[in-house]
Amino acid sequence: MLYADGWEEVLGYPDAEINMLAIVNMSAPEHALFSHEVNDKALKFILTKTENLEKYSFMIEVKKLHKNGTPVPFVARVGVFSSEGGHITAIIGRFQVNRSIVFGKVMRYAAYGPEKTEFEEELNKTLFYKMAISLKEKEALALVAKGYSFKEIAHMLGVSQSAIEKRIIPLYKRFDVKSLTHLVSFAYDNYILP
């Protein structure tokens, strides 16, 4: 069963027409593959867990298309609504229009839950060759852009310097940049950083 409310005023589709396939197919073409892969990999990861299931969720910023074809920027958060005996019984998705989102080439996502680091690393494996950035990567990159060293950032975030390096260094290859300065410039040009 799917409960839908308010879709007509936001995207032009009557609530009675809303189902999972419709929600997925409303993604703008340039966001569709990314959206599908994040949903697929995140749900597969959550299905491997048996405890604290209601604490797991993930977020993506995605462009949906109104029935009339105009783009609508959304923040979507999907998570476990209920579970029984270590098995998921219901999933919940919350979608919020956020007109302040400016989309560049890079998609943004985040993972939440008791094993957040493992969850995000699993998503990163899948999305490594995609133009995507996690919330943790973006947080570290914002501090790099402010001029902090990896060591200073590690201290500020309460993690090791190697954890910061693991967040920043892979971005060079992912975004095809050659230096830290180029990476920061790329981040501003693609609305990753304000």
Query: For every residue of 114-178, which 3-state class applies, written as one string?
Result: CCHHHHHHHHHHHHCCCCEEEHHHHHHHHHHHCCCCHHHHHHHHCCCHHHHHHHHHHHHHHCCCC
Give pLDDT, residue 149: 95
Q: What is the pLDDT of residues 66-76, one digit of tens each?
A: 999 999 999 99
Residues in the chain with pLDDT values less than 50: none
Helix%, strand%, coil% for the chain, nearest 5: 45, 25, 30
Give pLDDT, residue 129: 65
- Gap between the Cα atoms of 151 and 61, Å rounded: 30
Question: Dihedrals φ, ψ of 193, to 5°?
Answer: -110, 145
> Residue 87 is encoded by which pair of tokens?
């098995």
Q: What is the pLDDT of residues 39-91, one digit of tens each?
A: 888 999 999 999 999 999 999 999 999 999 999 999 999 999 999 999 999 88
CA angle, corner 157, sides to 156 and 161, nearest 5?
90
- Gap between the Cα atoms of 161 and 154, Å rounded: 5
**154 Cβ contact partners less than 8 Å away, ≥ 6 residues apart:** 160, 161, 163, 164
Question: Dihedrals φ, ψ of 139, to 5°?
Answer: -60, -45
Give pLDDT, residue 2: 67
Delineate the domains of the chain, giving CATH numbers in brackets: 1-130 (3.30.450.20), 132-194 (1.10.10.10)
